Copies of this chain bind each other. A is one copy, B any other.
């Protein structure tokens, strides 16, 4: 698991990263002062500068570690989910939904504050962003080649699917109407419809029951 040893050995740093994540997520990068972050972490203002050279570097670290968590898990999941692009997409969408919900704040920062990085650091983050997009695009395009996805606009369809998955952290609330499992269900459903997956041979195990609404 990522960051475990660091979390254990450098609690101050981990506390600051968590605080930065929370604060950047709710106030935005520019709206969050390092005083806000330090206070949220229960440390002094200067502590941030002991662990991070600058506010920009803290943001970069946050974004990159979130990307790396995402990419690491996504790769693992793709390798476990067989050759069929449909099962791969199913697993991938379910993972993205889970990840965007579980790492809601990190995802918000990654999705909305990356462009606040200065050019040099932006490039570093952008590389991961591209890798992340290519991962999904790769699965879809393979599915199109295999004839499983029949959308006439694969490129834009990928963007649309990614867009509605990425919007999750913007509105999801733990006390909301739907559970993460139900959201997995719905979002994979949407993705398959949008990509115009051939309907008859749906190989997804839980696809039959749409999942009851939570009480």
Contact = CB atoms under 8 A, between A and B. Distances in A.
Interface string A181-202: 0010011011001101000000
Nearest to A178: B156
A175 interface: no
Interface in A148-165: 151-153, 156-157, 159-161, 163-164
- Majority secondary structure of chain A interface residues (helix, strand, loop or mixed): helix
Given A116-B28, A116-B31, A159 B178 contact: no
A27 B163 CA distance: 21
Contacts of A196: 193
A186 B31 CA distance: 36
Contacts of A159: 164, 167, 171
Contact of A157 (B28, B152, B178, B190): B190
A210 interface: yes
Interface residues on A, range: 20 to 34
This chain's copy number in the assembly: 4
Contacts of A166: 163, 167
A31 B157 CA distance: 32
B153 A164 contact: no
A193 to B, nearest CB: 5
A28 B27 CA distance: 11
Contacts of A156: 178, 183, 186-187, 190
Contacts of A151: 193
Given A30-B28, A30-B31, A116-B28, A160 B164 contact: yes
Given A193-B193, A194-B193, A153 B30 contact: no
A189 B153 contact: yes
B28 A186 contact: no
Nearest to A156: B186
A27 B31 CA distance: 12
A112 interface: yes
8 contacts: A28-B30, A30-B31, A153-B189, A153-B190, A156-B187, A157-B190, A160-B164, A163-B167
